Amino acid sequence: MNTRSIMIVGVGGQGTLLASRLLGHVLIEQGYDVKVSEVHGMSQRGGSVVTYVRYGDRVHSPIVDEGEADVILSFEILESARWISYLREGGMLVTNTQKTWPMPVITGAVPYPENIAEKLGAMANVTAVDALKLAEEAGSAKAVNVVLIGVLSRKMDIPEEAWLAAIDAVVPAKFLELNRRAFALGRNA
């Protein structure tokens, strides 16, 4: 299979790294060659963060370039706008509708753009969900990452058991129930 590319984008502190670990785990269990590339350090302090997940028979580049992503999984709606140029023609955006104000908006230097989901919807194939609401329903705002993995799981041709097995393998035992609920809510959203 040709290499496929998924980007996970969000705000430092939102738990994107757990999402990429889950995804990496699932893809390896499906027998793919996998590369997952993330940036640690500075940007984790509330900055814009991106993780690249690539899989196929033989993956070379660890990064995804503009116009290459088959799927973008976005944790925050402004980040969807920021990274949309990375989506390939016919690709799919799965996005949280949550808004987290960046510092230039907080200081009043610029406004937070309006109607991003609608505008993106006119440009590309977009699935938008309120993952924060679902995470709170599952029991914790921190479970946004697993809710979004649940939403993504519906769009990929991989059996549900494989996702559940990855959650069992990657998530610490005491958060397992919470994350299973979060996954189910995302998957059925």
Partner 1 sequence: MKKLMLGNQAVARGLWEAGCRFVSSYPGTPSTEITEQAALYDEIYAEWAPNEKVAAESAIGASLAGARAFCAMKHVGMNVAADPIFTASYTGVNGGLVVCVADDPGMHSSQNEQDSRHYAIGAKLAMLEPSDSQECCDFAKAAFDLSERFDTPVMLRTCTRVAHSQSMVELYERDERPLKPYEKNPRKYVAAPANAVARHIAVEERMEALRAFAETTDLNRVEMGDTDVGFVTSGTCYQYVKEAFPAASVLKLGLVNPLPVQKIADFAAKVKKLVVVEELDGVIENHLRAHGIRVDAGKDRFDPKGELSQNRIRAAMGAAVPASLKYDEAVPGRPPVMCPGCPHRGLFTVLSKLKLTVLGDIGCYTLGSGAPLQAIDSVVCMGASVGMTHGFTKVLGPDAARRTVGVIGDSTFMHSGMTGIVNLVYNRSIGTVLVLDNSITGMTGHQQNPTTGLTLQNEPTTAIRIEDFCRGVGVKRVRVVDPQDMAATEAAILEELASDEPSVIIVRRPCALLKYVKAKPALSVDPEKCKGCRSCMKIGCPAIRFTDKKASIDATLCVGCGLCEQMCKFGAFVNPSKAKEAE
Q: Which residues bind partner 1 (CB under 8 A)?
A: 11-13, 24-25, 28, 33-48, 59-63, 65-68, 78-79, 81-82, 84-89, 100-110, 112-113, 119-120, 123-124, 132, 141
**In the complex, minimum distance from the CB of residue 95 to partner 1, in angstroms, rounded to a whole number:** 13
Nearer to partner 1, 10 or 150 (CB): 10
Phi, psi of 40 (to 5 degrees): -100, 175
**In the complex, minimum distance from the CB of residue 47 to partner 1, in angstroms, rounded to a whole number:** 4
**In the complex, minimum distance from the CB of residue 98 to partner 1, in angstroms, rounded to a whole number:** 9
Nearer to partner 1, 165 or 187 (CB): 165
**In the complex, minimum distance from the CB of residue 112 to partner 1, in angstroms, rounded to a whole number:** 7
Quick one: tokens of 115? 């109607």
159-162 contacts, C-beta under 8 A, 24 or more apart? 160/187, 162/26, 162/29, 162/30
Nearer to partner 1, 140 or 184 (CB): 140
Nearer to partner 1, 169 or 188 (CB): 169
